[in-house]
């Protein structure tokens, strides 16, 4: 495995990567309702396993090998929560396609707090909705 240059990683990530904020439904615990939770993740999926393992060696995170029943096996590099922040900070100046998503993701994660007020929860919810819009397929960059 080799470490990736930041420029190569940014170009690869811009084309093959994904930045998302996902929502986990709240549940009822001890008769008390818990709010939905929001989680930042960055990922790169590819059939070239060495590239994916190079992302892990260079930026940390986890690699999952998957066997796709209708195609070639593939690997996925994933970094979530606070572990995604150093990667995004290094990528942000070099990104073109995912620059806006990276900026939103960093703002989201850097302002996350454990005990949320209604206002903080609403900000996280708005970031989740904004990321969904930014990640819409076919959205023009112009």
CATH number of the domain that 111 lies in? Answer: 3.10.28.10
Question: In which residue ranges of the chain is pLDDT below 70?
Answer: 1, 27-33, 138-142
pLDDT at position 138 is: 65
Q: With respect to residue 113, please indicate whether it lies within any of the assigned structural domains.
A: yes
For 133, the token pair is 């819009």
Choose among 111, 106, 60, 53: nearest CA to 83.
60
For 43, the token pair is 């990922």
Number of structural domains, the chain? 1
The 10s digit of each residue's pLDDT in 78-113 is: 999 999 999 999 999 999 999 999 999 999 999 988
pLDDT at position 132 is: 95
pTM of the model: 0.86
- Note down the domain range covering 31: 6-134
Rounded to a whole number of angstroms, the CA Rg of the chain reads 16
pLDDT at position 25 is: 80
Three-class HEC string of 76-107: EEEEEHHHHHHHHHHHHHHCCCCHHHHHHHHH
């Amino acid at each position: 495995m080799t470490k990736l240059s930041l420029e190569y990683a940014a170009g690869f990530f811009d084309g093959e990567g994904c930045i998302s904020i996902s929502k986990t439904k709240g549940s009822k615990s001890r008769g008390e309702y818990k709010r939905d939770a929001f989680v930042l993740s960055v990922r790169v999926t590819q059939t070239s396993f060495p590239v994916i393992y190079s992302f892990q060696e260079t930026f940390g995170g986890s690699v999952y090998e998957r066997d796709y029943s209708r195609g070639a096996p593939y690997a996925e590099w994933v970094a979530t929560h606070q572990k995604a922040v150093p990667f995004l900070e290094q990528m942000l100046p070099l990104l073109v396609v995912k620059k806006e998503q990276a900026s939103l993701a960093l703002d989201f994660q850097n302002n996350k707090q454990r005990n949320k007020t209604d206002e903080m929860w609403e900000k996280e919810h708005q970031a989740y909705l904004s990321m969904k819009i930014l990640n819409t397929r076919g959205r023009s960059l112009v």
